[in-house]
């Protein structure tokens, strides 16, 4: 069973930019209501795509430089990285089926 891993700035390069598989990064904060809505969907996707896509969470309050670097202006923001580059950005809540289509494109 795979779950999204919470990382901080120090681990971002290895966990996301050097990853061998696509990575979905969930930019969130504990005080964000919509972030709490998207979290269970991301957890389901992590199980569905176990071994094919990595899932990480970045708390924008704890890691503001990464959020700024990727122009995260509102949360939740999900960014899909492939080969160290962002290939898709999703802002706000989206249904699971829509997120699956985006992940399939990254694979």
CATH at residue 76 = 3.40.30.10
User: Which one from 16, 24, 25, 35 is the annotated catalytic residue?
Assistant: 35
Looking at residue 2, its pLDDT comes to: 74
For the segment 38-64, the average pLDDT, to the nearest whole number, is: 96
> What is the reported pTM?
0.95
Is-catalytic flag, 88? no
Is-catalytic flag, 59? no
- Structural domain boundaries enclosing 40: 5-106
Structural domains counted in the chain? 1
Mind giving me the DSSP string for 52-107? TSEEEEEETTT-HHHHHHTT--SSSEEEEEETTEEEEEEES---HHHHHHHHHHH-
Burial readout 67-93 (b: 16 or more C-beta within 10 A, e: otherwise): beebebeebbbbbbbbeeeeebebeee
pLDDT digit string (tens) for 52-89? 999 999 999 999 999 999 999 999 999 999 999 999 99
């Amino acid at each position: 069973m795979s779950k999204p891993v919470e990382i901080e700035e120090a681990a971002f390069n290895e966990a996301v930019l050097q990853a061998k598989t696509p990575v979905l990064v969930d930019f969130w904060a504990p005080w964000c209501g919509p972030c709490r809505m998207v979290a269970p969907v991301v957890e389901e996707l992590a199980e569905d795509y176990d071994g094919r896509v990595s899932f990480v969470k970045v708390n924008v309050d704890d890691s503001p430089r990464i959020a700024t670097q990727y122009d995260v202006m509102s949360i939740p923001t999900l960014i899909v990285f492939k080969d160290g580059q962002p290939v898709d950005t999703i802002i706000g809540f989206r249904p699971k089926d829509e997120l699956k289509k985006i992940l399939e494109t990254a694979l």
